[in-house]
Chains A and B, each alone.
Chain A
Amino acid sequence: MSDVQKRVVTIPEIATVVEVKDEIQDVKTFYLKFDNPEVDANFKIKSGQFVMLTVFGYGESAISLPPSPENDRFHLSVRKVGKVTDALHNLVAGDKVGIRGPFGNGFPFEEIKGKNIIYVAGGIGLIPLRSSIVHVLQNRKDFGRIIVLLGARTPDDLMYQNDIEEWLKIEGFECYVTVDQKTEGWKGETGYVNSLIEKANVPVENTVAFVCGPPVMFNSVIGDLMSRGLKDDCIISTLERHMKCGIGKCQHCAIGRTLVCTDGPVYTYKQIKTLGEVI
């Protein structure tokens, strides 16, 4: 057992909050830097992985990693939803947090080379998918069509709007956006994200879909994609679970025979189907 492995198991590394950015309501992005320069330099992540974040005095939570490792600063986008994330949202630049990780398997980029990629995201489901989008766009020539279908409750709930505008400048990148309830001044689509599948004329041959969002959306989107002819092993999603350790010991994230922390969190729908009680 190496020392590095031993460290990540129970003792968090201390990191400083460098900057806090408001995204949408109840979602903030925290830019972080490890206090130990050695750790900071060696912190390599695969997109699709997650970290265990400690807010000192409150506890630890599993948070997905949105950035791409190559050129982005290490940051976490977090919705305020429980005890730890509430406390996190009160932090300001200069405060310290603890980080263990990264954990999990990450997205299978090698296997999807040369294919069309569809991203279907509901609300903050875009956060874990963002790392994948950034990676795919950086290696644009390895992939076919790249389509992002994005749904949100209201226009104010749309994540990463600036990023999307940047991405639209890249050739062959398509993005379709819809909201459930429009507000004043919204000129785009209204309706559920499923409606975009038809509109974007989503290809099914040689195509992989990444789906992430709330449980209700997940089921209906997958139903629609499958009925268009997309195979279950071409649909990829990242699951979330209540987690306490991140290293496959506490068993909170067990679904049947797999553990989301060490075997996941990225699964194909073919795998998810056999597990039961997933959503």
Chain B
Amino acid sequence: MYLIEKNNVMKLAEELAKSYSLYGPVTDKETKQVFFNKVASASEISLTAEIPSIPPKTVVFPQIERILEYKYDKGSKKVEMNADFDTSSKALFGIRPCDLTGILVLDRFFMGLEFVDDVYLEHRKRMFIVSNTCTVPFKQCFCVCTDSGPVAEEGYDLNLTDLGDVYLVEAGSDKGREFAEKMGLQKAGPEHTLEKKNAVDKSISLFEKLATDNKAWISRVMNRVTTGFIKEEVWEHIGKQCFECGACTFVCPTCSCFNVEDHNKFSGSTDRLRTWDSCSFEGYTKMAGDHNPRHPVEDRRNKRFFCKLSYSQSKKYLRPGCVGCGRCQWVCPGDIGLPNVVTYIRREITE
């Protein structure tokens, strides 16, 4: 463990920017919205910014990504094919614990199952992650209910915790340790560990005051969602409020459904694009010939919450699919973000 002065902390980012493309939370000057973007200079990054409105999954799983480029000449019957992977090294600076957990969930899904997704693997291979402990919860957070915050437990190379005048810097990997040593950081003592613990405890206690509407009793409903013992009326009630806009899936740090499309270009070659898709959309399961096995909107809502809360999905992710960032609650025009759905299901259980 190491310490770094608050006004020096950006030196870490500056150093990382020398060998990595640097990404971090940036506040938009006009809208004051926070985005997790690629930055030209470390000074753009703000460690005190709110959680970004779109999760940093965009770095490992971009909204639109070319995975293949090919050119087929019909005359000569020649095919040229180029696999197009983003192989740049990336550093994520100041990622929040919930979003880091989201990336770990995606890791297990894309790289841990029967097939390894090579497009994702290329993004992840050379990544340096600096996480940032949330010493104050934001208004929509409920990570304490999903065991993904307010402090990162794994998956980071360096973890920063705000201790007032200094940041506590913890190394979570050899790569992180080497980097900290190279930067010549001052060593931290046991008193700083205690200080961090107090800061985290204080943050958790603040959830009671700040995040009043967001408690999601995940474990209570997980059993019900898994076994399917939820009355059809509950899903219908939820389905009726759904606008089918897909916003919840796009802002979710763990949603990873995608579509693949071939786009012909004027140059005569074709791009195979991977784009975000959403299980909210009616056409999501429509097959050629217009047969659609999943029709009513409540079936589709049911599917999404099954994916987030069921035991069988959790086996793939090694944790619940929800990381408690609260973005779905924030963006949903129908007011059926995950905490609300959990509440609906829970009410049905108790009544």
Interface residues of A (CB under 8 A from B): 1, 5-6, 9-12, 14, 16, 54, 56-61, 81-85, 94-96, 98, 215, 240-242, 244-245, 247-252, 254-257, 262, 277-279
30 A-B pairs with CB atoms under 8 Å apart are: A10-B68, A10-B119, A11-B81, A12-B81, A14-B79, A14-B81, A58-B262, A59-B260, A61-B288, A81-B289, A96-B72, A96-B77, A96-B79, A98-B79, A215-B291, A241-B287, A241-B293, A245-B258, A247-B114, A247-B115, A249-B109, A249-B110, A252-B277, A252-B285, A254-B307, A256-B306, A257-B310, A257-B312, A277-B299, A279-B293
B117 lies within 8 A of chain A by Cβ: yes
Q: Once the chains bind, are A56 and B306 in contact (CB under 8 Å)?
A: no
B264 interface hit (Cβ, 8 Å):
yes
Measured CB to CB, the nearest residue on chain A to B72 is A56
Give the Cβ gap from A243 to chain B, nearest Cβ, in Å. Answer: 9
Distance from A144 Cβ to chain B, minimum over Cβ atoms (Å): 34
The interface residues of chain B, by DSSP majority, are classed as mixed
Produce 1/0 per residue, B91-131, CB < 8 A to A: 00000000000000000011001111111000000000000
Q: Is the CB of A59 within 8 A of B116?
A: no
Give bound CA distance, A232 to B33, whole Å: 55
A257 near B114 (CB under 8 angstroms)? no
CB pair A277–B70 under 8 Å, yes or no, is no
Q: How far is the CA of A244 from the CA of B72 in the complex (A)?
A: 21
Output the least CB separation between B274 and chain A (Å). Answer: 8
Please tell me the number of chain B residues within 8 Å of chain A, measured between CB atoms. Answer: 46
Known: A9-B116, A9-B118, A57-B72. A251 touches B262 (CB 8 A): no
Task: Point out the residues of chain B lying under 8 angstroms from A57, CB to CB.
Answer: 72, 262, 264, 270
> Which residues from chain A contact B81 at a C-beta distance below 8 Å?
11-12, 14, 98
Complex CA distance for A184 and B208, rounded to whole angstroms? 79
**B257 adjacent to A252 (CB under 8 Å):** yes
Alpha-carbon separation in the docked complex, A95 to B117 (Å)? 29
Shortest B336–chain A CB gap in Å is 20
Inter-chain contacts of B313 with A (CB < 8 A): 257
Contact of B77 among A12, A94, A242 (CB under 8 A): A94
B284 within 8 A of A: yes
Tell me, rounded to whole Å, the shortest Cβ–Cβ distance linking B277 to chain A.
7
Q: A9-B117, A14-B81, A241-B287 are in contact. Are A251 and B260 (CB under 8 A)?
A: no
Complexed CA–CA distance, A242 and B299 (Å): 17
* Chain B residues near A81 (CB-CB < 8 A): 288-289
Contact of B67 among A1, A10, A85 (CB under 8 A): A10
A252 and B256 form a contact (CB under 8 A)? no
* Chain A residues within an 8 Å CB radius of B294: 277
- Indicate with 1 or 0, residue by residue over B36-57, a CB within 8 angstroms of chain A CB atoms: 0000000000000000000000
Interchain CB contact under 8 A, B83 and A262: no
- Chain A to chain B: the 7 pairs with minimum beta-carbon distance, closest first: A82-B288, A56-B72, A247-B115, A257-B312, A251-B257, A81-B288, A59-B262
CB under 8 Å from chain A, chain B span 248-276: 256-262, 264, 270, 272
B286 at interface, CB cutoff 8 A:
yes
Question: What is the distance, in angstroms, from B85's C-beta to the closest C-beta of chain A?
Answer: 9
In the bound complex, do residue A249 and residue B286 qualify as a contact, i.e. CB atoms below 8 Å apart?
A: no
* Chain B nearest Cβ from A25, distance in angstroms: 15
Bound together, the chains give a CA A248 to CA B289 distance in angstroms of: 23
Distance to closest chain A CB from B103 (angstroms): 16
Q: Name the A residues within 8 Å of B260 (CB-CB).
A: 59-60, 244-245, 250
Q: How distant is A152 from chain B, measured CB to nearest CB, in Å?
A: 16
Within 8 Å CB of B118, what residues of A? Answer: 6, 9-10
Q: Are A6 and B264 neighbours in the complex by a CB distance under 8 Å? A: no
Q: In the assembled complex, how far is the CB of residue A232 from the closest CB belonging to chain B, in whole angstroms?
A: 18
Interface contacts beyond A14-B79, A60-B260: sample of 17 additional A-B pairs, CB < 8 Å, sorted by A? A1-B116, A6-B118, A10-B118, A56-B72, A61-B288, A96-B77, A98-B79, A98-B81, A241-B287, A248-B114, A248-B115, A249-B109, A251-B279, A251-B307, A252-B259, A254-B303, A256-B306
**What is the bound-complex CA distance between A14 and B119, given in angstroms?**
20
